Structure 1
Amino acid sequence: MRMNEHFENHRAVLDTVRRFERMVAQHESVFFDLEDFENIIDHYVTNAEFDKALQACEAALGQYPFSTELLIDRAQVTAMRGDYTEAERQIDHVADLDPTNADVAVTRGIISTQRGEFAQAVDFFRAGLEQEPEREDIHFNLGLAFQSWQKFKSAAKHYKQSLRLNPDNETGVQELLHCLDITARLEEHEAFFQRFTDDDPYSATAWYNLGQYWYRREDFTKAAEAFDYAVTISADFYDAHHWLADTFVCQQEYLKAIPEFELAYPTGEPTDEALCNIGECYEKLRDWEPARRYYRQALEINPAMDEAWFGQGVLLQEQERWLEAIHYFRKATELYADSGEYWSALGAAENQVGNVVSALEAYEKATEVAPEDAQGWVSWSAILYEQGHFTEAVELVRHAVELHPHEAHFHYMLCAYLLADGRMREAYNTLETALTLSFDQHVLLFDYFPELREQPGLKRLIEQFRK
């Protein structure tokens, strides 16, 4: 399918979905043909809106009660919602009606995958392939089963076959790249993705997939080139515009990113994500007013968008309007409590206005939800150090050292805390490690803790390493 046809079909599907949703909202009875219902159900499944997908299945079966395809759709959606017993009952009924249908085995495979019975799932999917060996969706489901089973090489093999049969499967591209990344085999698959553009240089999808490959490789220049080809071939390829913008962001080319984010949605139909991304670009450019405007527009579309609340907090923080920033950071943590970044920002703002207890609580929460983030431990320890709780500060900054043992900065902080706690031998051992890792960074010790300039033993040790 040519890309312009793909987008025309996509727009038609969205129009059908909107018409169906209006019907449901207004309790109207509107006729859809079978293909329309299949498209509606597929749209909801693709977007993981399984309750809506089941609602569409029931509405469709109300008009086409003997459709085997719809009965299978309903069984698969029921499995995706986690109701495995009911899904099995439904697919057993389909098997009685049509025992040779390959989708019976596929549905049983989906149920087994959802249940974590991966070996059984693979057997079911392979049985389906024996009946219909060129089914790209069966290869894709085999990929998902193997991936869930932690067998990433086998998963990659089936994702690749799925993409050979259907290069338009964007989810398949992402899952394949993940499997190749986790098995450190990305580099050796350049030819696989390049071949699609060689076979059809006018395929926007092929260039888009190649862009995804280079993006995952963190070669943002080549990724941008590929995404640029995709949008040149198909100007309304919104996802490609989004990824092109994102590659510019990764290269800190925010002025280039902004117009691409503006093209990442149909005219007059901005998304909250695009508006928030534009706001962040203006924030990085330190252009506060348009940044604030775009963040607010994003919240008008989606008041529960935590990124936009956080972004407004960052704007205020950058302008040292700490008290106002607290409100926005708190709202962000209320909407998404699992972000260490949000809690750390809230802790910093609370500390700036003198709310030490609230700051400590925020940093404690930051380390609870993101223990792998060193910044939370460091910031928490710094407040304790300022409060004279040296032993506690030592224990906290040790977490940062454990997370980043080769980062001299954290060793220097630990040295200072140990000195303040009177643990001289440990402090000097830690300083030796820090000086070995980076002698030049020893000035940080005195930047953070100017009182240490008068420590004679410290000076002597530093001078020994200088020589």
Structure 2
Amino acid sequence: MVDDFKNDDNVLEVVERFEQMLENDEQHFFDVQVYEMVITYYRQENKIKQALQVCNIASHQYPFSMELLLEKAHLLTHLDKYNQALELVEKISTFQPTDYDTLFLKANIYVQLGNYQEAIDVYGFLLKFASEKDELLYNIGYTYQSMGFYDKAIAFYKKALKHNLNNEAAVLELAYCLDITGNLEDGLEYYKKFIDENPYSFLAWYHLGMTYAKLGNMTDALNAYEYSTLIKDDFAPGYIEIGNIYITLSRYDEAQKAFETALLHETFSADLYCKLAYTFELKKEYYAAITHYKEAMEVDKLWDDAWFRAGLCLFSLNKYYESLHYFRKATQINGINENYWLAIADAEFAMGNILSSLDAYEEASNLAPDNPIVWLKWATTMYDHGYIDKATEVVLDALDECPENAEIHYRAVAYLISTGKYKQAFNLLENALILDFDKHTMLFDFFSDLETQKALYQIIDQYKTL
């Protein structure tokens, strides 16, 4: 039985008839074009396994169709079955040794398998025949980048852009390689020259802005970003970076306007809603900030930063119980961020739950033992509530994890003196003075008696001229 759907424009009807055939365990013969139509539908729906099933059935009926074999190879790569895909490509190559699509896929598979030089050889061979070379040049650059040869990658990305200045991927990866190699000044000159030749490339202006920003030149960065949005007025990334710079410059109203403009063109972005909310938070308009953080949660309920920052706003409003709910939600989503546990500790402490607060500090220290802020806040809470021996243990443990932190040394000195362990304290004081002499003044916040201050000065004076 032959079903010919060549003239049937209703793709859904074609797919439905095919699925009925499978459901009824029947075997019909379709034209190759019909199979391709069904395969394309499944691919667009991201139903790769179903597409592969159709491809297998079609290949049995049309075993010599190179198009179907190539399609099957593509589908296998989507399922990360690169070796199987390569076998099919090699088979096709015996019949079509110079077919561009087949060789291009082969090179892509080589990249995924880590056979980088083989991939570069194939891309290079295709360059001889390609009329539009930018994609091949970009792929060669990306392969070199995957090998860690960033300078070679940069050279090929530049070549790709000479052929097609609108190759967004090449602009993006070029910027990454210039950044990772520290060639920011070179990148600056490149983008300037590129813009001289292509003044309406919004991407070039955008990455020029990124380069200026990384070099700390915020004024020129802002100008470059503004040019990118003038050229392409719906370019959300440009507005976002403008907003980021205004935040850096403490111009929060202007940052707010930039993020609001970006949202006109990138509505479903939890991160962008958080950026907008942050401008209100910085202006201490906490209720407005919470509203926008909640919008971020609506877009992505697992966006932990939105829960965390909404909690901070509630904490600033002295709504400690409510803030604790948000902080705990953040840890449920991302339990390895020590800042979330520090926030829980602060909220518990504010409500008078000292033991729960200390437990949260301990959790934070386990997650980030090299973060001195965690140890210092933990120790301070215990010391201020009379747990001086425990506070001393904490700062001494902190010294093992943060041996180069002067403030922890000085805090350990203060606590040891408070517990009468003068010899150990003065030994640590010498280390603290060597690490950062200027911070020694914090010791006198702990001791007002002249005898202790005199003993401290006798040691401190020895290091004044060192």
Normalised TM-score (structure 1): 0.75
1:52 to 46, 53, 56: 46
Cross-structure match for 1:415: 413
Any idea what SS the aligned residue of 1:263 has?
Answer: helix
Deviation sequence 1:216-269 (CA, Å, 0-9, x none): 333322211101011122211222112221222233322111111111134694
1:132, CA displacement in angstroms? 3.7
Q: Percent identity?
A: 29
Report the Cα distance in structure 1 between the residues aligned to 2:378 and 2:71, rounded to whole angstroms.
52
1:163 to 152, 161, 164: 161
Any idea what SS the aligned residue of 1:324 has?
Answer: helix
Cross-structure match for 1:291: 289
1:116, CA displacement in angstroms? 3.9
Report the Cα distance in structure 2 between the residues aligned to 1:382 and 1:419, rounded to whole angstroms.
15
1:285, CA displacement in angstroms? 1.2
Any idea what SS the aligned residue of 1:264 has?
Answer: helix
Any idea what SS the aligned residue of 1:344 has?
Answer: helix
Task: Give yes or no for contact 1:381–1:397 (8 Å, CA) kept in 2.
Answer: no
Task: Give yes or no for contact 1:193–1:213 (8 Å, CA) kept in 2.
Answer: no
The amino acid of 1:52's aligned partner reads: N
Deviation sequence 1:180-223 (CA, Å, 0-9, x none): 33322222321111112111223322212212222333332221
Task: Give yes or no for contact 2:48–2:78 (8 Å, CA) kept in 1.
Answer: no
Deviation sequence 1:406-442 (CA, Å, 0-9, x none): x643432343355457664553344334445544432
Any idea what SS the aligned residue of 1:52 has?
Answer: coil
Q: 1:443 to 1:203 in 2, by over 3 A?
A: same
Task: Give yes or no for contact 1:282–1:290 (8 Å, CA) kept in 2.
Answer: yes
1:358, CA displacement in angstroms? 4.3
1:104, CA displacement in angstroms? 3.4
Task: Give yes or no for contact 2:138–2:160 (8 Å, CA) kept in 1.
Answer: yes
The amino acid of 2:402's aligned partner reads: A
Matches for 1:339-350 after TM superposition, within 5 Å = 339-350=337-348
Q: 1:227 to 1:466 in 2, by over 3 A?
A: same
1:99, CA displacement in angstroms? 2.8
Report the Cα distance in structure 1 between the residues aligned to 2:319 and 2:135, rounded to whole angstroms.
53
The amino acid of 2:277's aligned partner reads: G
Task: Give yes or no for contact 1:313–1:328 (8 Å, CA) kept in 2.
Answer: yes
1:296, CA displacement in angstroms? 1.4
Task: Give yes or no for contact 2:395–2:411 (8 Å, CA) kept in 1.
Answer: no
Aligned length: 428
Report the Cα distance in structure 1 between the residues aligned to 2:41 and 2:372, rounded to whole angstroms.
46
Cross-structure match for 2:248: 250
Cross-structure match for 1:15: none
> Is 1:457 equivalent to 2:461 in the alignment?
no
Instruction: Identify the range of structure 1 (172-181 vs 314-323) with the bigger mean alpha-carbon deviation.
Output: 172-181
1:186 to 184, 190, 196: 184
Gaps of 5+ in 2: 1-11, 19-32
Q: 1:425 to 1:196 in 2, by over 3 A?
A: farther
Cross-structure match for 2:402: 400
The amino acid of 1:462's aligned partner reads: I
Report the Cα distance in structure 1 between the residues aligned to 2:269 and 2:16, rounded to whole angstroms.
27
Greater RCO, 1 or 2 (C-alpha within 8 Å, sep 6+): 1
Instruction: Identify the range of structure 1 (288-297 vs 100-109) with the bigger mean alpha-carbon deviation.
Output: 100-109
The amino acid of 1:284's aligned partner reads: L
Report the Cα distance in structure 2 between the residues aligned to 1:249 and 1:28, rounded to whole angstroms.
57
Task: Give yes or no for contact 1:384–1:393 (8 Å, CA) kept in 2.
Answer: no
Cross-structure match for 1:328: 326
Larger Rg: 2
Q: 1:202 to 1:124 in 2, by over 3 A?
A: closer
Report the Cα distance in structure 2 between the residues aligned to 1:70 and 1:452, rounded to whole angstroms.
89
Cross-structure match for 1:204: 202
Gaps of 5+ in 1: 1-22, 45-50
Task: Give yes or no for contact 1:309–1:331 (8 Å, CA) kept in 2.
Answer: yes
1:306 to 304, 307, 332: 304
1:331, CA displacement in angstroms? 0.9
Any idea what SS the aligned residue of 2:102 has?
Answer: helix
1:293, CA displacement in angstroms? 1.2
The amino acid of 2:396's aligned partner reads: V
Q: 1:396 to 1:52 in 2, by over 3 A?
A: farther
Report the Cα distance in structure 2 between the residues aligned to 1:199 and 1:40, rounded to whole angstroms.
43
